[in-house]
Amino acid sequence: MKIQSDIFGKLADGREAQLFELQNDNKVTVKISNYGAIITCIETPDKNGVTENIVCGFNKLEDYLCEEYLGSYPYFGAIIGRFGNRIAKGHLEIEGKTYELAINNGPNHLHGGLVGFDKKLWEAETFENENSVGVKLSYMSPHLEENYPGNLKVTCIYSFNNNNELGIEYLAETDKTTVVNLTNHTYFNLTAGKENILNHELMLTATKMTEMVEQIPTGKIIPVENTPFDFTTSKTFLRDMEKLPTGYDDNFVFDNKAGELKYIACLKEATSGRKVEVYTTQPGMQVYTGYWNPELIIGGVKKFGSYSGVALETQHYPDSVHHNHFPTTLLKPGELYNEKTIYKFKV
C-alpha cells in the first residue's frame, strides 16, 4: 500500500489544495482532495481486469470551482456538513433559542448552507500503518458559521486497505449545543460513466423509510413492502422508475439504534461485474439517483447529466431536528460525535 500527494490547484484566495492518492496492493486507487474533503476518483477493476474510475468527479480543482458546475451543484464526492440533507424552512431551535439558516433548496435548508464543509479547505495529515493508508482531514467551524451555534471541531479520517475497503470516520466536538449530521456525497457509476445508472441493481437491508412530502419527512416511519422503495431483494433502479418521475431521493431506515457497524447495502452492475458493499454505524441512508445532475462539457467532452451516478449517503434522517422520535442529531459540550461508513469494492 502507498500514499502520495500532489498539488490539486489554487483557490481564488491563492491557497493551494492538495490531492492525495491512496493505492492498495490490488492496484485499487482512491483520490481525495482536502478541498471539500472530496473523493475525486476511485479506480477499480471490472470482471475483465480493466481498471476505471467508478465515481463522478474531476481531475482538476478548477472544474469544482467553475460557475457551470456550481450553478446546478450536485456536491460530487464531498463531505457534507454541518447538517447533511434538509432542514424544513431553515428553522432550527436549540435549548429555547432560534437560529434561522440559509434557504438554499426550495423553501428549505440543504447540506449545511451556502458555504458548507464541501467548500472548505481542510487541514490534512497523511498516515501509513501495517493495515491501511489514509488521510486525516480537520476543520474548525466557528460559532455561527452558516448561523449554526458552537465552535465545532470536525475530523474526517479516510482509510484504505488491502481488502478494498474505503473507511470514512467522522468525529466532532462542540463548545455549545448544536446539531451535526455528516455524510459523504460520492456518486457511483460502476460502468465508469459509459452508461447511466438505471440498470445498476441495489439491495438494501432496510424494510422501512421516512415518509416524505416534498423531500421533508412527515415524521412517520413507513414500510417499503409493496412499494417502489422495496430494495430488500436486489433490483434495478429502472424497474419501478415509471412511478417516480425524478427518480429516487429518499431516506431509508436501518433500525441501528446502538450505532453498530452493520452491512446495509450492495450496489452492483452486471456488464462490468463491479460491486460496492456499504457498512455503516449510521441509522439511515439517502439514496439519490442524480436526476438533477448537470450535463457539463469537460475538456471538450459531454459528461454527467441525469442519472449519471447514484449517491449512497449514510446519515441521520433529514429534518431530524423537528422530530424528537428520530435518532438525535444534537451534540452537546463534552460529547463526541463519532460515525463510520465503509465502502467495499468487489468484482
How many CB atoms lie under 10 A from the CB of residue 93?
Answer: 10
pLDDT at 300 (0 to 100): 87
The mean pLDDT of 301-312, rounded to a whole number, is 96
Q: Per the structure block, which three cell numbers stand in for 66?
A: 467553475
Q: Which residues are within 8 A (CB) of 181 and not within 5 positions of it... i.e. 6 or more apart? A: 81, 82, 83, 84, 85, 315, 316, 320, 329
Question: How many residues appear in the chain?
Answer: 347
Dig out the grid coordinates for 54 from the structure: 467508478
What does the pLDDT average to over 220-249? 97
The model's confidence at residue 62, banded by pLDDT at 50, 70 and 90, is very high
**Per-residue confidence at 314, pLDDT binned at 50, 70, 90?**
very high
Q: Please report, rounded to a whole number, the percentage of residues in the chain having pLDDT higher than 90.
A: 97
Q: Is the dihedral of CA 102, 107, 109, 111 positive or negative?
A: negative
Mean pLDDT of the chain: 97
d(CA 129, CA 35): 24
CB 208 within 8 A of CB 253: yes
Average pLDDT over residues 122-126: 98
Across residues 114-125, what is the average pLDDT? 98
pLDDT (0 to 100) of residue 4: 97
pLDDT at 340 > cutoff 90: yes
Q: What is the mean pLDDT of residues 185-199?
A: 98
Mean pLDDT of all residues in 242-247: 94
Instruction: Write out the catalytic residue numbers.
Output: 185, 313
User: What does the block give as the cell for 291?
Assistant: 436526476
What is the C-alpha to C-alpha distance for residues 347 and 344, in angstroms, rounded to an integer?
10
Rounded average pLDDT over 294-309: 93
Res. 278 pLDDT band, cuts 50 70 90: very high
Q: What is the pLDDT of residue 255?
A: 86
Q: What is residue 168's predicted lDDT score, i.e. its pLDDT? A: 98
Contact between residue 327 and residue 283 where contact means Cβ atoms under 8 Å apart:
yes
Query: For the residues 11-30, what does the mean pLDDT come to?
Result: 97
Cα gap 232→176, rounded to integer Å: 40
Distances (CA, A) of 171 to 25, 137, 223, 326, 335: 28, 10, 32, 21, 10
Domain 2-346 has CATH 3.30.450.20: no
Q: Are 30 and 54 in contact (CB under 8 A)?
A: no
Amino acid at 142: P
Name the DSSP letter for residue 14: S
Choice among 100-104, 131-135, 244-248, 254-258 with the minimum mean pLDDT: 254-258
Work out the pLDDT band at 298, boundaries 50, 70, 90. confident
> Looking at the predicted structure, is the pLDDT value of residue 299 above 90?
no
Confidence category of residue 258, pLDDT binned at 50, 70, 90: confident
